[in-house]
Structure formats: structure tokens, C-alpha cells
Amino acid sequence: MADLSQNDWTKQLEEDNNSVILDVRTQQEVEFGIIPNAVHMDIYQGQGFLDEIKKLDKSKSYYVYCRSGGRSAQACAIMNQLGFERTYNLVGGFTKWQGDVVYS
């Protein structure tokens, strides 16, 4: 896992053709907006979250964020324990996000 600033996170993401953006916030938080093309998996779903993570392709890079960076760091650590080699945590999370946002 690597902790990246928004600038580094977005720059690396743009250059990575084998990547997934993963939002690990709650559904209530997602209603305030989501980074475009992100896949939502609520880390607070416990075993349900683990079951969904295990279905993901380990050959991809995962750019993970939450509200402020704590839960996404946890998600990256969990993913690393499950054999994911390329996980990137967005320092400051969605709270500090300055890029595009979509609303559902």
C-alpha cells in the first residue's frame, strides 16, 4: 500500500491502464457525491465487504478512498493481506478531493 496525495494519486491513476477506483464509504456518504467511475464497496459491511473484495481481480491496481483516508488505509491493508499487490490510499480522502464529482 502507498499513501498518495491527491496530485500523485490522480497523476498515477491517469497513467495506469489497469486500474480501479474503489470508494469504501457508507451509502449515506456516497449520496454527497462520488469520484467518477468509482466502484462503491462499504467497508462497514464487514464480511460482505470481504466477500466483495475477494471477487476482485488481483492483477489490477486499486485506487482507494473514503471520507478522510482512515478507512481507505484499512481497506488497502486488508487487500494487501488478501494478496493484492498494488493498492493506493488517497490521503485526505473525499473531504480533500478537488477533482470531478458525480451524484447519483
Active site residues: 66
Sign of torsion over alpha carbons 84, 21, 25, 27: negative
- Closest listed residue to residue 38, CA positions, set 54, 14, 62, 67: 62
Distance of CA 29 to the CA centre of its chain: 14
Rounded distance, CA 104 to CA 90, Å? 22
